[in-house]
Amino acid sequence: MAAILLVEDAPDIARLVRRALTIASYEVVVAADGRQAIDAFAAERPDLVLLDLMLPDIDGVEVCREMRRIETAQARQRVPVLMLTALTSQRDREAGFEAGADDYLAKPFGIAELLDRVGALTFAHSDV
């Protein structure tokens, strides 16, 4: 069972996504802000991160950069990051990918598409 770190500050979205992922047999840890996300990433070693960009303390781009720094410092395997955000401009997407994101899904999104992307990212990185 893959472990997912869900970083989402909107409680309603976090509940909906967590429930869908749990039903799909994923373990889910939720972080409501950037600091919690970084701490959970360092402690939990998830198989995938679902990361909102607009967080109340540290923006998702910087959180992603910090996660990549943690991987390098600890010589850890690279964890795929899927950005989930209402920020949909080309500039926003480029910033996410430059920070180390693997995929980008704009809000609002369908649960089926989210589960498809999660499945693809966890499968592609399962034997790395």
User: From first to last of its 128 residues, what are the pLDDT tens digits of the chain?
Assistant: 899 999 999 999 999 999 999 999 999 999 999 999 999 999 989 999 999 999 999 999 999 999 999 999 999 999 999 999 888 889 999 999 999 999 999 999 999 999 999 999 998 777 54
Q: How many domains does the chain divide into?
A: 1
pLDDT at 113: 97
pLDDT at 18: 98
For 33, phi then psi, to 5°, come to: -150, 175
Closest-CA residue to 54 (of 40, 34, 78) = 34
What is the span of the domain harbouring residue 98?
3-124
CATH number of the domain enclosing 106: 3.40.50.2300
pLDDT at 34: 97
pTM metric for this prediction:
0.94
Phi and psi based region of residue 105 (left: phi greater than 0; alpha: psi -120 to 50; beta: remaining): beta
